[in-house]
Amino acid sequence: MTEKKRVQFRAPQELVDRADSLAEVLDSDRTGVLIDALREYLRDAAHDDEVKQEIADAYYAEKITFDELVGLVGHEEAANFRVLKEQLETDVEEIASL
């Protein structure tokens, strides 16, 4: 079973009301609706070119780890970013040694 973490946040009342209405229609609960919405958002964001570039930039700047990168864009894309990062670091070292 996946480990769960309790999260608390404030949201506009209209958004909460809509989530509650959808939960009623789907015979679910607000938490289920919000988890599904967050999953879908993260999946879509990882396929958006602009967001993907921001994720790559964060990895190159060492703001996120490789494991976090994998969680955001998948293993294959993360491996490509890692190769590019290594190449960029090699290029910088070569330029610095000139």
For 4-50, how does the pLDDT look when each residue is reduced to its tens digit (9 = 90+)? 999 999 999 999 999 999 999 999 999 999 999 999 999 898 889 99
3 is a domain residue: no
78 is a domain residue: yes
Asked if residue 66 and residue 91 are part of one domain, the reply reads: yes
Residue ranges making up the domain that contains 30? 11-45
Q: What is the token pair recorded at 55?
A: 């994720």
Asked if residue 65 and residue 91 are part of one domain, the reply reads: yes
31 is a domain residue: yes
Helices (H), 1-98: 13-25, 30-45, 49-60, 66-73, 75-96
2 is a domain residue: no
pTM: 0.70
At residue 55, the pLDDT reads: 94
Give the residue carrying structure tokens 């959808």. 22
- Measured CA to CA, the distance from residue 37 to residue 98 in angstroms comes to 51
Give the residue carrying structure tokens 């607000």. 30
